[in-house]
Structure 1
Amino acid sequence: MEKTNKRQIRFDLKKKILMLGVLPVLVLGLMVIFIAQTIVRDSLLKEIKDALQSAATSTFAAYDQNSGDYIKTENGEIWKGSYNISKSESLVDSIKEKTGLEVTFFYGKDRIMTSAKDKNGDRILGSPAGETIQKEVLEKGKEYFSDSVSIDGTLHYGYYVPVYQGDSKKPVGMIFVGANKAQKDSAINKIINTVILVVLIVMLLCIAVAAVFAFNFSRALKKGINMVQSVSSGNLKNEMDTQLIKRQDELGDLSKAISSLQEEMIKSIANIAGNAEAVLMASGELGETARETTTSMRQVEGAIDSIMQSAATQAEISDKAAKNVHSMGEKIERTTEEMEQMQQNADAMSCAEKQNVETIRELLESNKEVQELIQEIEAQTAKTNESVVQIKEATEIIASIASQTNLLSLNASIEAARAGESGKGFAVVATEIQQLASKSNESSQNISDILQQLTENSDRAVETMGKVTTTIEAQTEHIKETETMTEAVMKRILESIEGMQVIADSVEYLDGARKEIVETVSELSEIAKQNAATTQEVCTAANTVTENFDIVSGSMEGLKNIADELEGSMKHFQV
């Protein structure tokens, strides 16, 4: 039953190798056959179509090169200018002889000239084109290809080209060029069948090569399996086939590996056999060493307990120092905050003093401007007084003139009275002049009174401006004194700010030193804790080592038994 299963496994492996070799070739062959039946056939048909199109275009050019229009004579013949198309047998026969293609000229739907002949050797003329051809070529003006054009019962590949009359867009006829369908299909099938035959031959060769390869591979693999089975059964005397070792493929590498494995196993078994004795001897010495080590480790445990207590005390002291330094840090931080607040207040005072200095300077400028204005007002007042004096003098002159006018009018009135009736008109004028002189005298007296009052007011204004000037000068002196005091205060504030900055720098340096101390104390505390933890771990490890050596002492007997069993196992192999 076991041999049957092995054969089945080897058969499956061969089948898989054959499948790996045959399946891609089979798929590739089928793809090539499919391509030959589709793409290649379509390409060959396209070449036929292109050849027919080229021939039809050339034929059209041969007819169209004659100048003139297409006309139909009374006897039914078709002419192109001076060329008789109905008698162009030599042209169509020449084209057929050179290309093997049938050529036909249609005028309208009827055949006028053709190279095609019936069984009796007569040209096939006068028959109409098919309805589909008429619709596509004559009505739509398109070129048309057909793969089933019947000429006297024989199918042809045909291509139609429309023929136009000058610049007209309506075709007057068409040219047909056709190739024998059976002959072309035979040539196409011959090409495709040749391709398929070549593919089949290549497939058979590939299958044969894959079968030979699978057989050789399976046979070589069988030899390798037999060698491995021999080694697994303990027989190390058999040697690997030299032909398999000389192979330059993966089976050769496998054979070399099996041979190398056999040699290494022989060496290893010999070494193991020698080492088994050494293990027996060393087990006794190791047991004695384990007992001595256990005694030493117990002494180490006592020393480690003492170190662990010292480390715990050191950690406790470090924690207290860290707390004290932390408290000092909090106080330094509060001092720093107070210094920052003082710095802010000093900055605010400095800004306020700067504003005061600026305000005082502006006030001095204002006082200066006021003094200048008062001086201008005083000068203007002096000019006004001068004008008042001049007006007063003019008023006195007017009063003098009015007095004289009054005397003259009085004399005139006297003279008018003497004249009687003849002097009444003059008396009226004299009266008016007297009244005018009285009013002028009265007005000049009023003006004199007003000027007197204006002079008194100007004098009082000048006196007041003098007092104001004195007051402003005194105020200016006070402002200057205030400016001097403010500058002194500003200087003290700046000195205070500089002093606070020095204090702040000192506090900052102190805080930095405090942080370094905190870090150092923290590191010391952490180191102390780590020492305590490490000591605890060492103590635990020492206990574990002691326990392990107790176990080792108890395991020496088991090691001796294992060495005895190992020596017995070596006898299984035949070296």
Structure 2
Amino acid sequence: MKRPDMSIRIKFQLIIAMMSLVGIAAMAVVAGIAWTSIAKTEAVLTKSLLSEQNAAFALQRLSDAQGLSQDILAMTQLRDPDTYLPDFDSAVADVKAGMETVAYFAISGEIQSEVDAALIALGKWETATRIAISGEDTVTLPAPHLLESWRSEARQHVAAISSIVKSAARNQAREATRQSSFIMAVAVSLLGAALLAASAIGIFIARRTTSAMGATINAMTALADNQLEIDLPQSDKTDEVGQMTRAIRIFHDNALERRRLQEEQKTEVETRKKREAALRELVNSFETIIGSVVSEIHNAAGTMSDTADHLSGNTEDTRQKAGMVRTTSDNTSTRMQSVVEAADKLTVEIDQIGSAVVRASEVVNRASDRASRTNTDVAELAQAAQRIGEVVTLIQDIAEQTNLLALNATIEAARAGEAGKGFAVVASEVKALANQTARATEEISRNIARVQSSTTEAVDAIGEITSTMTEIHEVTDNISTSITSQTTATRDISHTIRDAADETRDVSQNLTCISGAIDETAQAAGQVQSASHSLKAQADVLKEKVTSFLNDVAAA
């Protein structure tokens, strides 16, 4: 059994409902996809930036803690652990907090593994360093090479975490941006295709309906002009057009019958009267049917006009929602620009820190050079003191010889008697002078020994200072290298965020294209409304033709 056709009113209501649902659903899907994509991109970029900042902060604080511990351990005088341990504990706590934050925002299992290894190495180095600083437990104090090994291992793990975080952040940002662009392109394409398909279906149904109505009106016009040799439209449809076509076919058959009756009128007067009565009955029935059909056409045309107005209203509402989505996209683009500005400020601050580290490295180099020159000067002073000691020894030897000569002169003067008294006085004075010289040279020797001892200690202290300066220079070089790497990574993130901002701007442009598609839908709704007015006009023409035909029949 053939399924009955839908009425014209239901067809046009179905067109309007389908186009409205397609437009609203497509806009909701596009808005949801755009919002989800933008939120995901922002979350990935924010998470990556926080991870990288905390990794850099942990690396900086680890350098501070290690530099502080080396400075404390390099002190040769008595040190108070309570004075230095709080600063050391604070720096180590900052490193651990930074590592825990990086682990919380970890975007890969590799980062978590490196964080665990870094915390283990940091714990070993922290425990050993606290023992070395406090000096309380000399039994468990590790060897210097183990302490240095743990320090290097902790720094290597923290530096590796910083490098992995930078690489993972850049990859995540690029992937999020690519997926967002792809999803938005697909959504916009589907929306445009859906709107165009709905518009095409509506125009197809409207044209098919008006085409069938036009064929019916042409047939009625021909019948009204008494042109009975025509091809009538098919009447197998069950809608209003099909009902009208079947009524026209009945009228056509009746017209043929009327012609036959007119030909037989001359010979069959009585039969003509009966047939005229039947014809009037058929005309009345036809008038009733045609009046009902024309009324239905008027109602369908009015419904078509109302639904076209409703479609225009839905199109305007959809246009407003598209504007809201575009405003949201613009706001997101503004926020992305703020993130770009923050990344640029971070780059400037890191550059300033790098400049300060370079200046500190230069100061350390100058201090190291000055300490080396001082060490050379003190060494020369020690050599001069040594030479003075040799001269004093020579003077002591001369004084002893002089004392012996004075003693011999005294003995010879005693042997000479009165003649040697004057010589004895001179010998006594020479002996006294020799004794004074010996005492003076002994005092000078003691002072020279103290000077030599002090210069030896000064040389050792300056050597320790030079070694410490060398280590500080190495640390500042490492910090400078890390800051340079951090600057490069921050610039990469800034470029990635700028790319994301450009993609968001592309989304806004795509929404502009969607607005164009909505305008095309509004034009299609206008075409449907025009078709409804045309249908009304054709119904009026049909009514006039039927009235004229019935008048002609009545006059005949």
* TM-score clears 0.5: no
Rg larger for: 1
Higher RCO (CA-CA < 8 Å; seq separation 6+): 2
The structure richer in helix per residue is 2
TM-score, normalization by structure 2: 0.37
